[in-house]
C-alpha cells in the first residue's frame, strides 16, 4: 500500500509539473499562410494615418490601391514583406492583457493592421506595433562587422497576447502608399546595349552606336569611359515622386531610346513644365509618370553629345 501510494503521488506531481510546463511553452508559429494562395492583402499603416491600402494579385503581378487611385505595385517589396511574415517566429511573450497594448503600439490607433485573404477566407489578421533596434554587442567594426537586429511587437487581432519577434517587420509594413508602388524608370543590361537614340528639340539629337567594341556618335569616335559611365549609371534607376495628375497633351520634348541584343526598345520620355520641373515617363513602367527636375535625374538620362565624345558636359 505504501509503495502504491508513493507511486500515485509521483504520478500526480508529474502531471502537475507537466501541465505547468505546457502552459509556459511558447507557441512560436504566429503565422500560417500559403503565399501561393493569397489573393488580397489589406494594410492600414500608421505612415498613412491608418488609411486602407489594398493589394490585389493577378497571376504574378500585384496592384496597390488607395482611395480611387490604383497603380502597379513593386513585387519585390511585397515579396520581401510576405517572406518576413512567413518566417515570423515568436521570440517571447511580453504581455497578456489589453491594458498593455498601447505600451507596445499594438492597438488600433498606434499599430499597423495587416489582413491576408485567400479568396473570402481570412488567414491572417495581425497588428504590428512598436519597433526597437538593437545594435550589435561589439558596435561598428568596419569590414566583417556584425549588424544589429530589430525587435517588433505584434498581436493577433483576435487575441490579447503580445509577442516580441525578431526582425524588421514594422519597417516592412508601415510604409506610405508611394513606397509600395513600382518606381522603376530604367533597367538595363549594359552589355546588351548596342544603340542609343537621343531625340532633342531643334534637331539637336544624335545617335550613339556600338561597332565591335567601340562607340561612335554620328560617326565620330566616342569616349569609351564616358559611355560606360553613362550606361552603368542607368542600369538601375528608380524614382518615388509620382505625377498622378499628369496626362500628356502632346509629344515629349526629349526622348532617349535604348536598343540592344535580346531586348525590346526601352523609351524614356520627358515633358517640360514650368520652371525647371520635368515630367518623366518610361516604357518599362507605362502606367506611371514621375516628377523630376532638370538638375537631378534629367541630367543623368539626357546627355549631350559633346560630353560623351570629350568626356564632360551635358545638354
pLDDT digits (tens, 9 = 90+) for 151-185: 999 999 999 999 999 888 999 999 999 999 999 99
Q: Average per-residue pLDDT in the chain?
A: 88
Minimum mean pLDDT among 62-76, 130-144, 190-204, 234-248: which range?
130-144
For 118-127, what is the mean pLDDT?
A: 94
- The domains found in the chain, sorted by start residue, are 28-180 (no CATH), 184-310 (3.30.1490)
In angstroms, how far is the first alpha carbon of the chain from the final one?
103
267 Cβ contact list (under 8 Å, min separation 6)? 255, 256, 257, 258, 282, 283
With contact defined as beta carbons under 8 Å apart, do 290 and 242 qualify? yes
Residue 208 grid cell: 550613339
199/120 Cα distance (integer angstroms) = 51
With contact defined as beta carbons under 8 Å apart, do 90 and 27 qualify? yes
DSSP tally for the chain: helices H, then strands E: 8, 19
pLDDT at 179: 97
**Per-residue pLDDT at 13 exceeds 90:** no
Stated pTM of the model: 0.82
pLDDT digits (tens, 9 = 90+) for 63-119: 999 999 999 999 999 999 999 998 888 889 999 999 999 999 999 999 999 999 999
Phi-psi region at 76: left, alpha or beta (left = phi > 0; alpha = psi -120 to 50): alpha
Residue predicted with more confidence, 30 or 116: 116
pLDDT at 21: 40
Cα 77 to chain centroid, rounded: 3
What number of other Cβ atoms are within 10 A of residue 237's Cβ? 19
Amino acid at each position: 500500500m505504501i509503495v502504491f501510494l508513493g507511486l500515485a503521488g509521483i504520478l500526480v506531481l508529474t502531471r502537475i509539473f507537466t501541465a505547468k510546463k505546457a502552459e509556459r511553452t511558447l507557441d512560436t508559429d504566429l503565422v500560417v499562410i500559403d503565399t501561393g494562395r493569397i489573393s488580397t492583402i489589406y494594410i492600414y499603416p500608421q505612415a498613412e494615418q491608418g488609411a486602407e491600402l489594398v493589394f490585389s494579385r493577378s497571376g504574378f503581378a500585384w496592384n496597390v490601391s488607395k482611395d480611387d487611385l490604383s497603380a502597379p505595385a513593386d513585387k519585390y517589396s511585397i515579396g520581401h514583406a510576405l517572406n518576413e511574415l512567413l518566417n515570423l517566429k515568436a521570440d517571447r511573450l511580453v504581455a497578456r492583457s489589453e491594458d498593455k497594448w498601447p505600451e507596445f503600439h499594438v492597438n488600433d490607433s498606434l499599430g499597423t493592421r495587416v489582413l491576408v485573404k485567400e479568396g473570402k477566407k481570412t488567414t491572417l489578421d495581425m497588428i504590428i506595433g512598436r519597433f526597437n533596434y538593437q545594435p550589435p554587442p561589439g558596435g561598428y567594426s568596419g569590414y566583417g562587422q556584425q549588424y544589429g537586429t530589430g525587435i517588433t511587437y505584434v498581436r493577433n487581432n483576435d487575441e490579447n497576447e503580445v509577442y516580441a519577434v525578431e526582425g524588421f517587420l514594422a519597417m516592412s509594413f508601415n510604409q506610405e502608399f508611394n513606397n509600395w508602388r513600382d518606381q522603376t524608370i530604367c533597367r538595363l543590361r549594359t552589355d546588351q546595349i548596342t544603340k542609343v537614340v537621343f531625340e532633342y528639340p531643334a534637331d539637336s539629337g544624335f545617335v550613339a552606336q556600338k561597332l565591335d567594341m567601340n562607340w561612335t556618335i554620328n560617326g565620330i569616335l566616342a569616349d569609351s569611359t564616358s559611355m560606360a559611365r553613362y550606361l552603368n549609371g542607368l542600369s538601375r534607376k528608380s524614382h518615388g515622386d509620382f505625377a498622378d495628375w499628369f496626362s500628356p497633351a502632346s509629344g515629349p520634348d526629349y526622348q532617349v531610346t535604348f536598343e540592344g541584343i535580346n531586348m525590346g526598345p526601352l523609351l524614356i520620355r520627358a515633358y517640360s513644365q514650368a520652371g525647371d520641373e520635368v515630367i518623366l515617363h518610361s516604357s518599362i513602367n507605362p502606367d506611371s509618370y514621375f516628377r523630376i527636375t532638370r538638375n537631378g535625374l534629367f541630367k543623368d538620362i539626357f546627355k549631350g553629345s559633346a560630353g560623351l565624345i570629350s568626356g564632360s558636359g551635358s545638354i
